[in-house]
């Protein structure tokens, strides 16, 4: 920028009050940053402000410095007080600016007196100067109180320099102030009272003054929307208050609907109402209020379906809105453990888009891949997630949050298919992307997502037998996750901590450190017990059953038979009924666990073989099923079939060999022995070496 260029020239009388106000005004103008919405439109704020510090010389001729500054300045702001008219210097600056043909860019900051008393002679010659008077007078006459008034009035000058509508700047500035206030308040319960008060105040204002309905409606709507629907994300950054926000969200959603209904544009109102219901639904899902979330999302979906049937808007836009609504409903159903229904919703979302190119397609594909993974349909999940990753590349969205989620789900899918090299590559990509997002935004939510990638990568290393590498990741991730989990009301934080506890326990278990694994498994169980008690969903029941199973299995390897029997029976009793509801993958997992129970507790090997074969029939690609099928076949005397299974396990690498060796050792200690065990291990080692 040219050193002689100024956006604003400040002219004032060199008196104590005038000088102090001018100094603070200069600071305000130079440090004010335009709201993001205006910057995105290409507007530019004030960069340089000139304040003359000279007094009028005897010659009464302006210096070259003053002349150049006046000539380059876009706006002239005169700080007017009762002392101003006696300054020939200020009057000369005004007259010079008028001579330059910029009279319409002169503004007055009235800090004392009245226009008649406080304006210099040249200023009174401008016909429309009354339109640009910024009255910031304060009863106290103190500079601080004057500047409080000036912070809003000076937006007139900023708008003129930025070449943006003054009304829009006022509105965006107001929104920013309100949101900042909300963020400051978000650390305490006062936030909720604040938001509720804002809701009522804005509604009363909109009702009272319908002549200003357009601006009031827009401002009220945006303030409420940004405060209300941004709360769950902001609360994730401030632990301890997550659980009390849901009622406020619902109440404010009703206020928003009433404000929107003031608009005469029916289609726009319907769309806005639907969007608000979706925002509310998203927030309630984060708060684990699934029933309420689903209700809100179904209402939004119904509105979009009606609009699409009536052809009330652009077909492409209508299709995208409808697809997004189906996707959001699928996310809620996934969180509830209703995987089949969720898969159907994601399918409807994709079918609604058809061949249209859409930015939301990769997200929908990622969500569908995730639910297929949870259903145990690994090959389908892998294909869908690869399609999602391919869709990101042309759009240039690689390195985004969606990209990180896709690679995380893809890595988990490869992991279940025992494709460890592919899994590790995808998980490292996800971990790196989340890491960059954390560095850029330092968001608590991004950090939790990054921990999911850490946990999955460490689990992948565990399954490959690379236990030291896995433990290094787990030890750091567990510490970070435990800190997040101090916020008992944050479901995301509880989920990631429980996941890391379970996977860390698996790592220690595979290392033969059973006493160290036990407390991690028990922490996992404690968190899942709370979730199950609070939500009662099939998914939470399955997670608690898994936690109890792992405690039982670890206790068996440690030689604690009573704990083994107690937790096995609790696990199977809880898992049996919900495994049918959750689908074939969960049912096969239940049957594989029962087969293991029949081996180590009941010692009924024929029954165990029958049960394991049922599990294999449902999920023939499940590595977990292979282990228990192999044990049952071997102990029941089906050696040839057992060898086939153990050779398949040997092909997976060192991790599988470690697991089989630990199980055989534990079985021998418990009196479950077969001479073929050592032969099987030797066969597996030979196959792995080749």
CATH of the domain at 495: 1.25.40.10
**Is residue 590 domain-shared with residue 632, that is, in the same domain?**
yes
Same domain? 156 vs 12: yes
CA angle 291, 229, 158 (to 5 degrees): 170
Domain contains 277: no
Q: How many domains does the chain have?
A: 4
- For residue 668, the enclosing domain spans 583-690
pLDDT (tens digit per residue) in 506-560: 999 999 999 999 999 999 999 999 989 888 899 999 999 999 999 999 999 999 9
Residue 471's Cα: distance from chain center in Å?
28
pLDDT of residue 56: 41
Low pLDDT (below 50) residues in the chain = 1-2, 55-60, 184-189, 209-217, 221, 224, 227, 229, 236, 242
In terms of domains, do 44 and 92 share one? yes
The last residue of a domain, from among 248, 266, 286: 248
Cβ atoms within 10 Å of 673's Cβ, excluding its own: 12
Which long-range contacts link 414-423 to residues 24+ away (Cβ below 8 Å)?
414/382, 415/456, 415/459, 415/460, 415/463, 416/373, 416/376, 416/378, 416/621, 416/622, 416/623, 417/378, 417/379, 417/382, 417/621, 418/463, 418/623, 418/652, 420/460, 420/463, 420/464, 420/652, 420/653, 423/460
223 occurs within a structural domain: yes
The answer to whether residues 619 and 540 belong to one domain is no
Is pTM beyond 0.85 here?
no
Residues 107 and 58 in one domain: yes
Looking at the domain assignment, is residue 621 inside a domain?
Answer: yes
- Cα distance between residue 647 and residue 660, in whole Å: 11
- One domain for residues 571 and 587: no
- Give 196-227 pLDDT, tens digit per residue: 555 555 555 555 544 444 444 455 545 545 54
Assess if residue 502 is contained within a domain.
Answer: yes
My answer on whether 157 and 173 are in the same domain is no
* Domain stops at, among 224, 248, 272: 248
> Which CATH number does the domain housing residue 132 bear?
3.40.50
H or E element that contains 369: helix 361-374
What pLDDT was estimated at residue 475? 92
- pLDDT at 213 (0 to 100): 46
Does 390 fall in a domain? no
Query: For residue 654, what is the domain's CATH number?
Result: 1.25.40
The answer to whether position 557 is within a domain reads yes
Is the domain of 642 the same as that of 657?
Answer: yes
Is residue 325 one of the residues assigned to a domain?
Answer: no
Residue after which a domain boundary falls, among 526, 554, 577: 577
Q: Report CA Rg, the chain.
A: 34
Under 8 Å between Cβ of 633 and 641: yes
What is the number of other CB atoms lying within 10 angstroms of the CB of residue 606? 13
User: Residues 20, 153: one domain?
Assistant: yes
Same domain, 153 and 180: no
Answer yes or no: do 134 and 174 share one domain. Answer: no
Same domain assignment for residues 20 and 140: yes
- Token readout for 666 is 């534990």
Q: Looking at the domain assignment, is residue 523 inside a domain?
A: yes
């Amino acid at each position: 920028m040219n050193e002689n260029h100024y956006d604003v020239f400040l002219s004032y009388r060199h008196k104590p009050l005038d000088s102090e106000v001018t100094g603070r005004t200069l600071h305000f103008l130079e440090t004010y940053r335009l709201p993001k919405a205006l910057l995105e439109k290409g507007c530019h704020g004030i960069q340089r402000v000139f304040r003359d510090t000279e007094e009028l010389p005897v010659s009464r001729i302006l210096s070259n410095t003053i002349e150049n500054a006046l000539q380059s300045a876009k706006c002239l702001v005169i700080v007017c007080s009762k002392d101003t008219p006696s300054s020939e210097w200020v009057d000369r600056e005004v007259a010079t600016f008028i001579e330059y043909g910029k009279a319409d860019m002169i503004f007055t900051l009235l800090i004392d007196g009245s226009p008649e008393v406080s304006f210099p002679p040249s200023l009174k010659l401008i016909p429309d100067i009354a339109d640009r008077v910024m009255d910031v007078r304060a009863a106290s006459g103190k500079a601080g109180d004057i500047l409080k008034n000036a912070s809003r009035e000076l937006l007139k000058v900023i708008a003129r320099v930025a070449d943006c509508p003054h009304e829009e700047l006022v509105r965006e500035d107001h929104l920013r102030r309100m949101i900042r206030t909300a963020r400051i308040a978000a650390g305490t319960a006062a936030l909720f009272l604040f938001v509720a008060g804002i809701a009522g105040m804005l509604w009363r204002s909109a009702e009272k003054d319908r002549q200003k309905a357009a601006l009031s409606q827009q401002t009220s709507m945006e303030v409420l929307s940004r405060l209300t629907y941004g709360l769950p994300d902001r609360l994730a950054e401030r632990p301890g208050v997550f659980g009390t926000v849901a009622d406020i969200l619902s109440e404010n959603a009703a206020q928003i609907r009433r404000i929107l209904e003031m608009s005469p544009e029916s289609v726009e109102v319907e769309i806005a109402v639907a969007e608000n219901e979706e925002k509310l639904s998203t927030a309630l899902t984060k708060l684990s209020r699934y029933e309420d979330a689903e209700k809100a999302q179904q209402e939004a979906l119904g509105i979009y379906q009606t609009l699409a049937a009536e052809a009330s808007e652009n077909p492409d836009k209508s299709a995208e809105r409808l697809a997004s609504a189906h996707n959001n409903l699928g996310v809620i159903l996934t969180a509830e453990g209703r995987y089949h229904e969720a898969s159907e919703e994601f399918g409807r979302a994709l079918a609604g888009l058809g061949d249209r190119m859409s930015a939301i397609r990769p997200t929908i594909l990622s969500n569908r891949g995730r639910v297929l993974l949870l259903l145990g349909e690994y090959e389908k999940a892998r294909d869908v997630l690869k399609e999602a990753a391919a869709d990101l590349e042309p759009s240039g969205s690689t390195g985004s949050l969606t990209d990180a989620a896709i690679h995380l789900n893809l890595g988990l899918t490869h992991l279940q298919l025992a494709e460890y090299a592919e899994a590790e590559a995808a998980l490292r990509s996800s971990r790196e992307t989340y890491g960059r997002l954390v560095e850029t935004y330092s968001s608590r939510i991004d950090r939790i997502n990054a921990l999911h990638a850490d946990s999955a990568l460490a689990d992948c290393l565990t399954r490959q037998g690379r236990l030291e590498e896995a433990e290094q990741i787990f030890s750091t991730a567990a510490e970070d996750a435990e800190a997040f989990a101090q916020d008992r009301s944050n479901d995301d934080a509880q989920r990631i901590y429980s996941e890391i506890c379970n996977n860390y326990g698996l790592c220690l278990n595979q290392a033969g450190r059973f006493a160290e694994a036990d407390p991690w498994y028990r922490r996992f169980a404690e968190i899942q017990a709370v979730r199950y008690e609070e939500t009662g969903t099939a998914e939470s029941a399955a997670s608690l059953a898994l936690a109890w199973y792992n405690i039982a299995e670890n206790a068996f390897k440690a030689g604690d038979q009573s704990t083994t029997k107690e937790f096995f029976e609790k696990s199977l009793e809880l898992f049996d009924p919900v495994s049918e509801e959750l689908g074939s993958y969960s049912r096969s997992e239940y049957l594989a666990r029962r087969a293991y129970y029949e081996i180590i507790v009941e010692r009924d090997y024929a029954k165990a073989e029958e049960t394991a074969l049922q599990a294999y029939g449902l999920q023939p690609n499940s590595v977990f099923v292979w282990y228990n099928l192999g044990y049952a076949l071997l102990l029941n005397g089906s050696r040839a079939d057992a060898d086939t299974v153990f050779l398949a396990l040997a092909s997976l690498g060192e991790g599988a060999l470690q697991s089989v060796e630990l199980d055989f050792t534990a079985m021998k200690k418990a009196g479950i022995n077969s001479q073929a065990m050592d032969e099987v291990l030797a066969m597996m080692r030979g196959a792995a070496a080749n």
